[in-house]
Structure 1
Amino acid sequence: MSARRERQRRRRHRSGASRIVFITLGVLVACLAIGGLSAVGYVVGIASSAPDLKTLKPQDPGRNSVVFAADGKRLGVIQNDILRFPINSSKMPQTVRDATVAIEDKRFYSHKGVDFEGIIRAAFKNASSGETVQGGSTLTMQLVRTLYISRERTFKRKVREAKLAEELENVHPGRRGKEWILTKYINSVPYGTVGGQTAVGIQAAARIYFDKSADELELHEAAMLAGLPQAPSAYNPFREPGRAMGRRNDVLRNMAQEGFIQPETAAEAVARPLGVKASRYFREKRESFFFDYVTDELIAEYGIKDVRSGGLRIKTTIDLDLQDKARDAIAKSLSFGGAPSSAIVTIDPSNGYIRAMASSSKYKDSKFNLAADGKRQPGSAFKIMALVAAVDRGINPTAISYPSKRLKFTAPGYGPIDVNCYGGRCSGGSKNLVRGTLSSDNSVYTQLALDLGPDKVVKAARGLGIKSKLNGYPSETLGGLTRCCSPLEMANAYATIASGGWRAKPKAITRVRFPDGKVKDLSKPRRHKAFDSAAMYEVTKILDQNVPGGTGARAQLPKCPAAGKTGTTDKNTDAWFVGFTPKLATSVWVGFPKGRVPMGPLFNGGPVDGGTFPAEIWGNYMKAASSKCGQFRKPDHAFRAKPFQGKYATGRASTGAGVEDTRNFNNGAVPSPSPSPVPSPEEGTTGDPGSDPAPAPPPAPAPLDDGDADSGGGTPAPGD
């Protein structure tokens, strides 16, 4: 082969090899281009499939509801697993904002929602370390993840997150937009869980870790909190103080590197201890029994979700000063070893506001609310239901009389009647309803109930506000009830008398403010005209005489008119005093909460009845509570008595004038105790003459219907 041909052959060989290389490279480049375009197309497709930001509704992590007393003082936070109190940017310390940016997103103020440089840097760092040590998500992307999309760890979620982050930055442009995004993030990110409750947002975090408000945070505290969102459990200062300290110091150094603080300032903060302080801010409550009562009322109205996490601000009727005075009065009488318990409820008769709901019980020992839920037999304090039924019927209390004697006979429709007076002895003779009330004569009131019809007593009780089950037995007039009544019910019933026959629904809440600023005004009373005011004035005059001249002597007030009635049950297991001044109606119950335990020689060596501890507590409390009490208001018309002929009454009731005023209601003079009519010594003037063995309900009659709650006569007022 010639040299020339050999050279041509070699050139052809090299040329063919080159072509193969170029073709191969071309194929590879084409594949990469196609792959790249496919990848880009895939990413673009994912981004395009993401919903528009405007169509998405941000998830609401909720916020806590807070209850306040009538004077605006905080009672407590309604419990929830999430703790969150969003705050305005003006209340958010700059140190918190700077610390968050320094540790989470250094280029926050320069990128447009997605930090590509940060993503590449994080990728290299994670690849070199073999594990995820740095994230590429910006604060805006994290906010989008919290508010708009799921938290699943997928490539699709990440792409959509980036797309929505850019949209969010476009919706909130410029420096003001950045501040809005940062504030929203700091208010929405979880800062960890303590005691089963997760702090969401800086305000809740400041409370749960340092027991202070966010605007009170110092630099080293703000830095520690800013380091928590990336891994709240790992950096929890209560469980991992060493790791929390290291993370906090990283935040401080980053702040110095980014120019937010001077290096010397950072060094000083690094030298500080963590300083965390376990807080009871979210669990601590004032007036816990009333607080629970209010919470139950709210849940019934708005549902448990809105109450626990709806961010409600609830103003209530409770008077903290009266609460303290009520407990002081109880403690003054019942501070000795083995003393029974007591509960007090005070209602404003003019509007039904619950002003006090207190007891001697300790919330940590028992969550049962004796004042609102304790259903105990009221004894002779319930006789007033029959007295109200009588005057509502038009019976003149001074004109109808009954013999005071032991009763033992069979009443048609009601079976055997066996009733004696307090102490086992009635006074004899005849008594009108005034004397029968002041001596709390069981025989008088049993005969009155039979003449009226026990169903009429039930109707009067309903009209006054008693909600508990009533059967319509004659014995109920003497307080022999199966499951009735609570101090709240009794206070409200007597408040109806004090208000001239207007029954108000007991009100604990006057205002609810929602997170959007809307306010629901609940202050308007829900009242119903149940009884004639002149008829109620007759009852008031009798009960007014009962305090200085009857069984309620220990309840006298030196500068204020007071009307009320004692009550004691069989074997002295429950003792009451229920009464009112012109401005406040109050019930006091005394007894042992667990079971019907007789209260033996606990009062100066004698048994406890309504005229002892209950009247004493009522008097001491109302002296302190009634600074400006005024006078009982006279009706604008006279009591209209009607003829009444009772089977058991001695004679026919006339239509004459009603009960005489023994107190000058016009000029406010408070007289000395009325000289008449006063119970004789054998009727038990030192105790409660009306405390009696309540006769067992007869088996023969079928229980009456409980009746309508508004069955007190008259017409309903608006809103009832």
Structure 2
Amino acid sequence: MRKSNPKLPQSAASTLPSQQRGIVFSSILLIIVIVGMVLLALYLVKLDRTITHKFEGKRWDIPAKVYSQPLELYQGAAVDNSMMKTWLELLNYRSNKAYDRTGSFYKSGNNYFIHTRGFTYSANDIDKEQVIKMTIANDKIKTIQSTEQNKTGIIRLEPVSIGGIYPDSNEDRMVVSLDDVPQPLIDALIATEDRGFYEHKGVSIRGIARAVINNFSGGSMQGGSTITQQLIKNFYLNSDRTLKRKANEALMAVLLELHYSKDEILQTYLNEIYLGQNGNRSINGFGLAAQFYFNQPLNELRLDQQAMLVGMAKGPSVYNPRRHPNDSKARRDVVLNNMLQMGSISQEQYDTALEKPLGVVDKPVEGKSQFPDFLDIVKRELNDVYYSDDLKNEGLTIISTLDPIAQLAADKAVDKKLGELRRNSSKTKDLQSALVSANPETGELVAVVGSGSEFTGFNRAVDAKRQVGSLLKPVIYMTALESGRYNLASPVDDSPITVNLGDGSKWNPKNYAGRDHGYVPLTTALAKSYNQSAVRLGMEFGIDTFAKQLRRLGIEEKIPAYPSALLGSVNLSPMDMLGVYQVFATGGFRTPIHSIRTVIDNRGRILQRTGLNTQRSIPPETNYLTNYALQEVVKNGTAKRAKSLGSNLNLAGKTGTTNDYRDAWFAGYSGNYVSVVWVGRDDNKPIGLSGGTGALPVWVDYMNRIKLTPVAMPEPEGIEWLWLENNTGKLSNERCASARYLPVMSAHLPEEASSCAISLYQQEQARGQIQWENEQGSINQQRQREGLNIPNSEVIEPTDEDGDNDTQKRTDTWYNRALEWF
């Protein structure tokens, strides 16, 4: 019997493949879901790492900020009302009778009440905000008190911002902590940008829904982004309007809120938000925006000003208060209304704020540096020590040596006098100038003018290497004095001279006036700046010696080995010459000129503190005599114009003029400032001005604008004051017609006396001898009358009126016995 194959029902046969397909499809779908979830998880991990890496690491490239030196206030300090007015204006302090907020002051007569902002110089050197009460009388601080204890007796008014060193990204910001942000600004931000900020977890479903409904209903276009999402967009993403970017934004916002607190997110947003453009640099964060639009710290802004900044977050270009003031004000008022609706402000506060003008400043402090030449020198000094990226990105604070009062004086002096000189002739219409000034004792640079109205990068104070002319003559005379062969009254020959050069040619230097003067006193030769005498003296000691002396004075440039170098045919900058005259001004001590006091990192650690690197460069006796000779230049020489500053200041200096009147120089000093001025043309064409008519007027105008102290150089031990015969250098007497009372080195006293002095000495000795003999004769006569013996049977020989018995013999050895008399 055959078995028959059983047949399945038709319905069952058709179900099996269908089930298999379903299982396969489900498996595939499950695999896809699993793979998708794995990929999503991996993607979320990637996003999470991106978030945490940047948020917990270095969030921003923070520019370095450069400040001036602070203003030190203490009893007896030379501070007048004009100085205080200028400094408070530079800091943008506001006059307020209540002086109840930082950055405010009240002046009543000569009494000041100043509520300072405080300043952090380093982690261990912090000036807290305080109220200063101060009285000024006779251009000095008479009394000073403070609400903060002070062990030093010195209260510092914070330094002035002079610029920054910015990242390559061209982002500028001033990072503030949440504690430094006014609560009304936070309230305004929450009320306007994200009212549910403290409730949602990064994404607001209600906000998105409200924005969608509003947009579809024809209302104004709104976004549903939370503050967290806005931070994600600005901090991590871009502004592309794509679904992918929006999805990433939402995911990353949730992840960010899982990791960090609301305060951390809010603080980062406040420092990240873009709020405008300053040239090619973006203004990021409310801290910098407060300075950029109002020249005030964030915590000093009024309610309406805070609301304006919050309003700009929606569109910094659309609501730019400088370009679109009406739109900016309307947006500000919307923010204020939001705050009123949220109960953040009262109706009275709202009404008052609405009435306020925008109050935006025309020229922000955070714009172009008002002292670009000085800032340029600071940058150059920093670049010698630090990597460029560290300067641009690490948020360093640099306290410079700039004195804003001196700098403003320099700017005004150059602007005024250069304007006058440019109107003189066609030769001077393209005139340029450079001015550098420093504290001679510390070497701190206090003022620099080195460019025109717009800084181009060419800073004449350091970049303009020009022939310096007679500014180097004091080095020649210093060498002569140091040798002991010459003193201040010694004769130097100013007759024509011919110098044989190495190539067989001859050089015949001439005086500027074209006149010869024969033998003249050393001080006169320098004061009148005679060329022929300077060349003769320089050649006597040699050009090599001249070059070595310049190196002692800090000149690093190679000095050409030809005689014309003696007359200043050496290309040096105003800053080079400032270093030379700094030595003369300090008794022979060289302290390198510098522009930086301290460099502090973003944690308050001091990376650099410039100390006094002072070394003896010239013997004190030599420098003392050189200083005397330089003072003669002002008293009786080519710099007489400087006497207008005050004869009691004992100023010293030297004019300089180069061939064909191409360059005009003056270098000089008071007790507290050493300054150098150059005037010339960039194309090196003649200007028709000498040092006395071109550079000196600028120098005098500058020095007249600042407070000067007299030159009071301490007298070294190796100096004696003697009467010398002018133009011979021999010992003399005050009764001689050509006698001058001058300092002389004890080691090199003159060994000869003038004929006038010898004659007076002989007469003095003769009179003394006669007086002694007359007195002795009277005594002997009295003893005889009394019947007493005359001791040793002394017999007094008669002496004639001229004392010729043996006085002449004693003149052969007069020096050893008569030096004190002379």
Q: Tell whether the structures are fold-level matches, with TM greater than 0.5.
A: yes
Q: What is the CA distance between 1:614 and its match in structure 2?
A: 4.2
Give the counterpart letter for 2:574 in structure 1.
Answer: P
Partner residue of 1:486? 573
Residue from 347, 352, 370 that aligns with 2:443: 352
Is 1:191 aligned to residue 266 of structure 2?
no
Partner residue of 1:684? none
Q: What is the CA distance between 1:441 and its match in structure 2?
A: 2.8
Q: What is the CA distance between 1:108 and its match in structure 2?
A: 1.6
Instruction: Please identify, of 17-26 and 63-72, the stretch whose mean Cα deviation from structure 2 is larger.
Output: 17-26
Partner residue of 1:335? 420
Is 1:410 aligned to residue 500 of structure 2?
yes
Is 1:322 aligned to residue 411 of structure 2?
no
Give the counterpart letter for 2:41 in structure 1.
Answer: V
Is 1:384 aligned to residue 471 of structure 2?
no
Superposed, 1:32-431 pairs within 5 Å as 40-52=37-49, 56=54, 57-70=56-69, 71=71, 72-78=158-164, 80=166, 81-112=170-201, 114-115=202-203, 117-118=205-206, 121=209, 138-144=226-232, 146-147=234-235, 168-169=256-257, 172=260, 177-193=261-277, 195-209=279-293, 213-217=297-301, 221-229=305-313, 232-233=316-317, 251=335, 255=339, 258-260=342-344, 279-326=363-410, 331=416, 335=420, 338-339=423-424, 340=428, 342-358=433-449, 362-364=452-454, 368-391=458-481, 395-397=485-487, 402-411=492-501, 415-428=505-518, 430-431=519-520
Partner residue of 1:628? 709
Is 1:465 aligned to residue 546 of structure 2?
no
Is 1:585 aligned to residue 646 of structure 2?
no
Partner residue of 2:95? none
Superposed, 1:523-534 pairs within 5 Å as 523-534=610-621
- Distance of aligned partners of 1:224 and 1:442 in 2 relative to their CA distance in 1, 3 Å threshold: closer
Partner residue of 1:697? none
- Distance of aligned partners of 1:184 and 1:498 in 2 relative to their CA distance in 1, 3 Å threshold: same
Give the counterpart letter for 2:423 in structure 1.
Answer: G
Partner residue of 2:590? 503
CA shift digits 1:651-670 (9 cap, x unpaired):
9x99xxxxx995799xxxxx
Q: What is the CA distance between 1:468 and its match in structure 2?
A: 4.3
CA shift digits 1:672-706 (9 cap, x unpaired):
xxxxxxxxxxxxxxxxxxxxxxxxxxxxxxxxxxx
* Structure with bigger RCO (C-alpha 8 Å, 6+ apart): 1
Instruction: Please identify, of 96-105 and 495-504, the stretch whose mean Cα deviation from structure 2 is larger.
Output: 96-105
Contact between 2:215 and 2:222, CA under 8 Å: does it hold in 1?
no
Task: Give distance in 2, aligned partners of 1:456 and 1:630.
Answer: 29
Contact between 1:75 and 1:287, CA under 8 Å: does it hold in 2?
no
CA shift digits 1:39-89 (9 cap, x unpaired):
555433432444556655445333444333333442533374323112232
Secondary structure of 1:422's match?
coil
Residue from 609, 626, 629 that aligns with 1:522: 609
Task: Give distance in 2, aligned partners of 1:322 and 1:612.
Answer: 23
Contact between 1:582 and 1:633, CA under 8 Å: does it hold in 2?
no
Secondary structure of 2:508's match?
strand
Question: Which residues of structure 1 form unaligned runs of 5+?
Answer: 1-11, 600-607, 640-649, 655-659, 666-720
Contact between 1:406 and 1:425, CA under 8 Å: does it hold in 2?
no
Task: Give distance in 2, aligned partners of 1:33 and 1:264.
Answer: 63
Give 1 or 2 for the bigger CA radius of gyration: 2
Q: What is the CA distance between 1:478 and its match in structure 2?
A: 0.9
Q: What is the CA distance between 1:277 and its match in structure 2?
A: 6.3
Secondary structure of 1:542's match?
helix
Give the counterpart letter for 2:596 in structure 1.
Answer: I
Contact between 1:577 and 1:614, CA under 8 Å: does it hold in 2?
yes
Task: Give distance in 1, aligned partners of 2:347 and 2:29.
Answer: 49
Q: What is the CA distance between 1:202 and its match in structure 2?
A: 1.3
Q: What is the CA distance between 1:519 and its match in structure 2?
A: 2.9
Q: What is the CA distance between 1:439 and its match in structure 2?
A: 3.9
- Distance of aligned partners of 1:323 and 1:242 in 2 relative to their CA distance in 1, 3 Å threshold: closer
Question: Which residues of structure 2 form unaligned runs of 5+?
Answer: 1-8, 72-157, 721-726, 731-738, 745-822
CA shift digits 1:415-464 (9 cap, x unpaired):
42212223222112x45644432343322221232232212212212221
Instruction: Please identify, of 299-308 and 445-454, the stretch whose mean Cα deviation from structure 2 is larger.
Output: 299-308
Contact between 1:555 and 1:620, CA under 8 Å: does it hold in 2?
no
Instruction: Please identify, of 629-638 and 197-206, the stretch whose mean Cα deviation from structure 2 is larger.
Output: 629-638
How many pairs are equivalent? 623
Task: Give distance in 1, aligned partners of 2:295 and 2:491.
Answer: 68
Contact between 1:76 and 1:284, CA under 8 Å: does it hold in 2?
no
Q: What is the CA distance between 1:329 and its match in structure 2?
A: 5.6
Task: Give distance in 1, aligned partners of 2:592 and 2:378.
Answer: 14
Partner residue of 2:811? none
Task: Give distance in 2, aligned partners of 1:544 and 1:87.
Answer: 53
Residue from 661, 668, 671 that aligns with 1:572: 661
Give the counterpart letter for 2:588 in structure 1.
Answer: G
Task: Give distance in 2, aligned partners of 1:405 and 1:123.
Answer: 96
Task: Give distance in 1, aligned partners of 2:16 and 2:221.
Answer: 47
TM-score, reference length from structure 1: 0.71
- Distance of aligned partners of 1:148 and 1:59 in 2 relative to their CA distance in 1, 3 Å threshold: farther
- Distance of aligned partners of 1:516 and 1:395 in 2 relative to their CA distance in 1, 3 Å threshold: farther
Task: Give distance in 2, aligned partners of 1:597 and 1:456.
Answer: 31
Contact between 2:278 and 2:367, CA under 8 Å: does it hold in 1?
no
Partner residue of 2:140? none
- Distance of aligned partners of 1:554 and 1:502 in 2 relative to their CA distance in 1, 3 Å threshold: same
Task: Give distance in 1, aligned partners of 2:330 and 2:19.
Answer: 56
- Distance of aligned partners of 1:94 and 1:240 in 2 relative to their CA distance in 1, 3 Å threshold: same
Task: Give distance in 2, aligned partners of 1:383 and 1:311.
Answer: 46
- Distance of aligned partners of 1:86 and 1:462 in 2 relative to their CA distance in 1, 3 Å threshold: same
Q: What is the CA distance between 1:507 and its match in structure 2?
A: 1.1
Q: What is the CA distance between 1:624 and its match in structure 2?
A: 5.6
Task: Give distance in 2, aligned partners of 1:234 and 1:503.
Answer: 57
Partner residue of 1:535? 622
Give the counterpart letter for 1:111 in structure 2.
Answer: H
Superposed, 1:4-43 pairs within 5 Å as 40-43=37-40
Contact between 1:99 and 1:252, CA under 8 Å: does it hold in 2?
yes
Question: Which structure is higher in strand share?
Answer: 2
- Distance of aligned partners of 1:276 and 1:405 in 2 relative to their CA distance in 1, 3 Å threshold: closer
Q: What is the CA distance between 1:109 and its match in structure 2?
A: 0.8
- Distance of aligned partners of 1:157 and 1:213 in 2 relative to their CA distance in 1, 3 Å threshold: same
CA shift digits 1:452-505 (9 cap, x unpaired):
221221221222123445312111111223xx2333222221111222332222
Task: Give distance in 1, aligned partners of 2:43 and 2:708.
Answer: 73
Task: Give distance in 2, aligned partners of 1:15 and 1:272.
Answer: 86
Task: Give distance in 2, aligned partners of 1:179 and 1:510.
Answer: 36
Identity value in percent: 29
